[in-house]
């Protein structure tokens, strides 16, 4: 089952299809960049305009490893610009799929 693309943008990175979009998070009040692979193996959420740039991995794979338990947070090794662009979405996808340097963080360590 593919993901809905209504009001969402498609992007192809390598040979894989993804959908990305920005939506408000009702719980935190932040806007969040969401990235989802077409097969839903990679699911990322990146809160915007926080003090600490990080991503939340909610899928079944992250940085070439199978994930078998819930959500995990990782520091981004680069900053998030004010404008969300396809280039930023691609940069996050490449880091999350090809990288090996993710630094995990606990929810209490994140400064919003």
Mean per-residue pLDDT for 43-69?
92
Name residue 21's beta-bridge partners: 34
Per-residue pLDDT reduced to its tens digit, 81-94: 999 999 999 999 99
Predicted local confidence at residue 1, as pLDDT: 46
Pull the structure tokens for residue 16: 């894989």
7 — pLDDT class (breaks 50, 70, 90): confident
H/E element, 17: strand 16-24
Mean pLDDT in residue range 9-14: 96
Q: Is the pTM of this model over 0.75?
A: yes
Instruction: Decide: 48 and 33 in contact? Cβ < 8 Å.
Output: yes
d(CA 9, CA 53): 22
More confident site: 64 or 20: 20
- The whole-number average pLDDT for the span 35-55 is 95
């Amino acid at each position: 089952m593919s993901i809905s693309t209504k009001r969402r943008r498609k992007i192809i990175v390598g040979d894989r299809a993804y959908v990305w979009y920005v939506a408000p998070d009702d719980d935190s009040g932040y806007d969040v960049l969401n990235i989802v692979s077409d097969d839903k193996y990679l699911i990322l959420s990146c809160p915007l305009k926080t003090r600490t740039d990080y991503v939340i991995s909610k899928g079944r794979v992250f940085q070439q490893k199978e994930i078998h338990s819930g959500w995990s947070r990782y520091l981004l090794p680069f900053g998030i610009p004010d404008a969300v662009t396809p280039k930023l979405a691609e940069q996050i996808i490449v880091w999350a799929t090809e990288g090996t340097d993710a630094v995990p963080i606990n929810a209490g360590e994140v400064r919003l």
